[in-house]
Amino acid sequence: MSVLVDKNTRLLVQGITGSAGAFHTRQCIEYGTNVVAGVTPGKGGQMFDDKIPVFDTVWEAKQKTNCNVSMIFVPAAFAADSILEAVDADLDLVVCITEGIPVMDMMRVKAQTRGKRTRLIGPNCPGIITPGACKIGIMPGYIHKEGKVGVISRSGTLTYEAVWQLTSRGYGQSTCIGIGGDPIGGLSHLDAVKLFDDDKNTDAMILIGEIGGSAEEEAAAWIKANCKKPVAAFIAGMTAPPGRRMGHAGAIVSGGKGTAAGKIEALKAAGIAVAETPATIADTLIARLKNN
Amino acid sequence: MNIHEYQAKELLEKFGVATTRGKVASTADEAEAIARELGDVDLATGRVRPNVGLVVKAQIHAGGRGKGTFKDGFKGGVQVVKSPENVREVADKMLGQTLVTHQTGAAGRVVHKVLVGESAEIAREIYFAILLDRAIAAPLIVASTEGGVEIETVAAKSPDKIIREPIDPLAGLQPFQTRKLAKQLGFEQSQTKAATKLFDGLYRTFIGCDCSMVEINPLVVTKKNEVLALDAKFNFDDNALYRHPEIAAMRDVAEEDPREVEASKHGLNYIGLDGNIACLVNGAGLAMATMDIIKFYGGSPANFLDVGGGATEEQVTEAFKILIADKNVKAILVNIFGGIMKVDVIAQGIINAAKTVKLSVPVVVRLEGTNVEKGKQLLKKSGVELIPADDLADAAQKAVAAANPKNQKPNPK
């Protein structure tokens, strides 16, 4: 078992004919993901790599292929509309990889999709992977290994770092979710923690956060009250100067809020093992597992 | 991106937000002409009428202008004066001179423009801001009757004096909300119309310019019963600048760290810091974490640099040039976890950089991920002198040691 995606996932790629979309679609197929359709407005009727039908609309793709998850590689200016289109087609999950979507666009997407059953991961995220079963996103597949640790993160390469540490030490992952680095997005740390808590095949979790917002604190409070599984965490941005946006649109300490120190304190108070450096994320979890 | 006070004023005026009258000048002649246009000057005497003053404000991106000193000894980047002739004199003393404030550092900033305006006689000061609140994914108005001071101070001392009004992102700011705010902020009935009009204009500015924050501190009631935005601070969403070319054009690169300006030309995400270990990393999270681990092992990062997910060899070469040009830098730490970005591309970028710029400081390289073996071989074959590292901890310790050759053993904090 795993969360959100597995062998049965039928993937649609919005923006499949663009260069990034095409490249990563091929990488996902190579990993074993079942890609059943693509959407690029104006290119309906074509075949991608002679095997995947391309449609003009998500509505049509759903009708013809029964796809249930979408991966979005549409340029930032049009990506919000693509998310809404996927939600309108009542898919189970939308994974938006696109970086640079205006925050106001995401604010409206969030308001317009309230109450809908479709889940959103991202935007500005590496995607989601259930090792050995389904890769939806831009992460390198080979660093992952099937196993029982759930990984949740706002960052891409920092997640790879943690996953690689786990894999190198023989610990596999149930599912790894990159929720993205934007100030307004879909799935939160807390949503992901709840999914892993309910998943029978996840025994422990790694939670990777960074400066900005209060999503890590919210997850910590819930974990303290409800979660029995061991959790290790790392927060990036101890040395980030206040008021500066550190790459990710959401990674900013403003008005003294969203500091790494504050988040680490909240996590520790919730009984979560916090890694002192990014080099010891896996070891921190393993030590916690051995103590239990 | 930051903008000048006069540009903020222009934006507010465009959306019908009342501000004090005034205009920007680049020369002393222009400054005097603006002062005359402002009107309340007694034509017979050439003096400004009683109760009205003129103000000349140096336009730089740093705070603390009023208490700042020019390098030639002239005191005060904000001056209240009596007549258009005085405006001319003061503008002449400011333009082309370097103003040093507590925010500029010792180097100061050259004043290229001054804002000439009427100085409002303030009866009451209010704090009013609209920000995009990530927790509720909606705009939020934060206001207080305690204007003119830092809102963080008010929040700490008297949290009950802070008003919060969330706005429905789809419906927008409603008229009843502006009336409620006017009441909560203690506006008199005779001022309500002006206040609600100002709130509405600010909301339209916030949405229309894709702001992440507009802060008016203070919003004032004058002795003439006017309601005016006296000072404005804007934060824009960089992701949305593509649809606001007029705002993007307001960028003043003379006000920015030259290292950051150079980096942005090459599409690199760079933030200058004051340490001596430069970092070159792919991915924002890993870049932050790399700075953190340098600090953990007793070093000090010179910068944040995310070369992004799709960097080219050229970008990596340019990144190296920027890092090497920083005189404080004593060592460089390259930390790459190849995902989308292939490790051999980074390796080739390092080799190219070594050919075009002299690598005058030790370079510690940690590579992992897609095509890592290919990348390592490229570096080995190239003959470029580098310090290879096995993992992140090893890399950070080697970089700290390389930057402090006397300290053989770096001490964890």
Catalytic residue among B127, B203, B270, B297: B127
| Cα gap B120→B11, rounded to integer Å | 20
Query: Quick check: helix, strand or coil at residue A255?
Result: coil
Chain B neighbors of A212, CB-CB under 8 A: 134
CA distance B185 to A24: 54
Q: Following DSSP, what letter does each residue of A116-136 receive, concatenated?
A: -S-EEE-SSS-EEEETTTEEE
Distance CA B286, CA A168 (A): 18
User: What does the block give as tokens for A245?
Assistant: 């946006």
Name the closest residue on chain B to residue A27, using Cα atoms: B340
Distance from CA of A59 to the nearest CA of B (A): 24
Residue in B170, B238, B273 nearest the CB of A112: B170
Q: Are A103 and B210 within 8 A, CB to CB?
A: yes
- How far apart CA B397 and CA B394 sit, in angstroms, is 5
Which of A155, A234, A241 lies closest to B283 in CB terms? A155
Instruction: Quickly state the pLDDT bin for B222 (edges 50, 70, 90).
Output: very high
Closest Cβ–Cβ partner in B168, B273, B293 for A241 = B273
User: B340: which chain A residues are within 8 Å (Cβ-Cβ)?
Assistant: 24, 138
- Chain B residue numbers with beta carbons less than 8 Å from the beta carbon of A102 are 210, 237, 239-240, 243
Does B127 qualify as catalytic in the annotation? yes
Return the residue in B204, B282, B288 with the most chain A beta carbons within 10 A, the one to mutate for interface testing.
B288
Tell me: the pLDDT tens digits for B7-18?
Answer: 999 999 999 999
Under an 8 A CB cutoff, do B285 and A111 touch? no
Q: Do A126 and B306 touch (CB under 8 A)?
A: no
Interface contact B284-A246, CB threshold 8 A: yes
**Nearest CA distance, B304 vs chain A (angstrom):** 8
The predicted pLDDT at position B2 comes to 86
| Encoded tokens for B370 | 């897609």
Which residues of chain A have a CB within 8 Å of the CB of B301? 239
Give A62 to chain B, closest Cα distance, Å: 28
Chain A nearest CA to B159, separation (Å): 15
| Rounded-to-integer distance, Cα B289 and Cα B284, Å | 9
- The model's pTM is 0.91
By Cβ distance, the residue of B210, B284, B338 closest to A140 is: B338
B396, A277: Cβ pair inside 8 Å?
A: yes
What band does B150 get if pLDDT is binned at 50, 70 and 90?
confident
The rounded distance, in Å, linking the Cα atoms of B391 and B372 is 13
| Chain A 22-51, residues with CB within 8 Å of chain B CB atoms | 24
Statement: residue B407 has pLDDT above 60: no
User: Considering all CA atoms of chain A, what is the largest pairwise distance in Å, rounded to the nearest integer?
Assistant: 58
Q: Residue B49 has what pLDDT?
A: 61
Contact residues, chain A, for B212 at CB < 8 Å: 103, 183
Q: Is B270 helix (H, G, I), strand (E, B) or coil?
A: strand
What is the distance between the alpha carbons of residues B2 and B12, in angstroms, rounded to a whole number?
15
Residues B203, A22: Cα–Cα separation, whole Å: 41
Hey, CA dihedral for A231, A232, A235, A236, is it positive or negative?
Answer: negative
Q: Point out the residue among B286, B294, B370 whose CB comes nearest to the CB of A155.
A: B286
As a whole number, mean pLDDT of residues B217-242 equals: 93
Which secondary structure element, helix H or strand E, spans residue B248, and what is its range? helix B245-248
Q: Which residue out of B140, B142, B168, B239 would a mutagenesis test of the A interface target, given it has the greatest number of A Cβ atoms within 10 Å?
A: B239
What's CA A40's distance to the chain center, in Å? Answer: 23
Instruction: Tell me what the mean pLDDT of segment B48-70 comes to.
Output: 84
For the segment A217-229, the average pLDDT, to the nearest whole number, is: 95
Look-up of token digits 């090497």: B324
Chain A hits for B134, CB-CB cut-off 8 Å, are 183-184, 212-213, 250
Check pLDDT > 80 for residue B196: yes
DSSP codes joined into one string, A125-191: S-EEEETTTEEEESS-GGG--EEEEEEEES-SHHHHHHHHHHHHTT--EEEEEE--SSSS-SS-HHH
Mean pLDDT of B195-206: 98
φ, ψ of residue B359 in degrees (nearest 5):
-80, 90
| Tens of pLDDT, residues A95-137 | 999 999 999 999 999 999 999 999 999 999 999 999 999 999 9
Residue B86 has what DSSP assignment? H
Q: Give the percent of chain A with pLDDT over 70.
A: 100
- Joined together, the tokens standing for residue B384 give 């470029």
Contact in structure between A141 and B266 (CB atoms under 8 Å): no
Which pLDDT does position B413 carry in this prediction? 46
Count, in order, helices (H) and strands (E) of chain B. Answer: 13, 21
Chain A residues 209-238 with CB within 8 Å of chain B: 210-214, 234, 236-238
Specify the pLDDT at position B36: 87
* Residue A159 with chain B: CB contacts under 8 Å: 285
B232: helix, coil or strand?
A: strand
Measure the CA–CA gap between B17 and B21, rounded to whole angstroms.
12
Q: Best mutation site among A31, A105, A129, A157 for testing chain B: the one with the most B CBs within 10 Å?
A: A157
What pLDDT, on a 0 to 100 scale, did the predictor assign at position A233? 97
Contacts of B152 (CB under 8 A, 6+ apart): A255, A256
How much is the pLDDT for A96?
Answer: 98
pLDDT at position B38 is: 83
Cβ of A278 within 8 Å of Cβ of B151? The answer is no
Choose the closest CB to A248 out of B240, B284, B337: B284
Q: Which of B214, B281, B286 should we substitute to test contact with A (largest number of A Cβ atoms within 10 Å)?
A: B286
- Residues ≥6 apart with Cβ < 8 Å to A261: A238
Is it the case that residue B359 has pLDDT exceeding 90? Answer: no
Find all residues with CB under 8 Å of B246, minimum gap 6, and list them.
none
pLDDT band at B47 (very low <50, low <70, confident <90, very high): low
Query: Do A239 and B292 lie within an 8 Å CB cutoff?
Result: yes
Please check whether residue A187 is in contact with residue A83, taking contact to mean a CB–CB distance below 8 angstroms. Answer: no
Rounding to the nearest 10 degrees, give the CA dihedral for residues A284, A287, A289, A292.
-130
Q: Inform me whether the pLDDT recorded for B339 exceeds 80.
A: no
**Which pLDDT score is estimated for B237?**
94
Q: Would you state the structure tokens that stand for residue B278, as one six-digit string? A: 């430069």
Which of A114, A239, A284 has the most B C-beta neighbours within 10 Å, making it the best mutation to test the interface with B? A239
Region of poorest pLDDT, from A257-266, A275-284, B40-49:
B40-49
Among partner residues B295, B309, B392, which is closest to A239 by beta-carbon distance?
Answer: B295
Give the separation between CA B48 and CA A87, rounded to whole angstroms.
63
**A67-105, pLDDT tens digit by residue?**
999 999 999 999 999 999 999 999 999 999 999 999 999
**Are A106 and B370 in contact (CB < 8 Å)?**
no
Q: Inter-chain contact B289–A107, Cβ cutoff 8 Å?
A: no
Query: Is A126's CB within 8 Å of B339's CB?
Result: yes
A160 and chain B: CB distance < 8 Å anywhere? Answer: yes
- A103 contacts B212? CB cut-off 8 A: yes
- Local confidence band at B358 (pLDDT 50, 70, 90 cut-offs): confident
- pLDDT tens for A138-169 read 999 999 999 999 999 998 899 999 999 999 99
Q: Which chain A residues are Cβ-neighbours of B346 within 8 angstroms? A: none
pLDDT of residue B201 exceeding 70, the answer is: yes
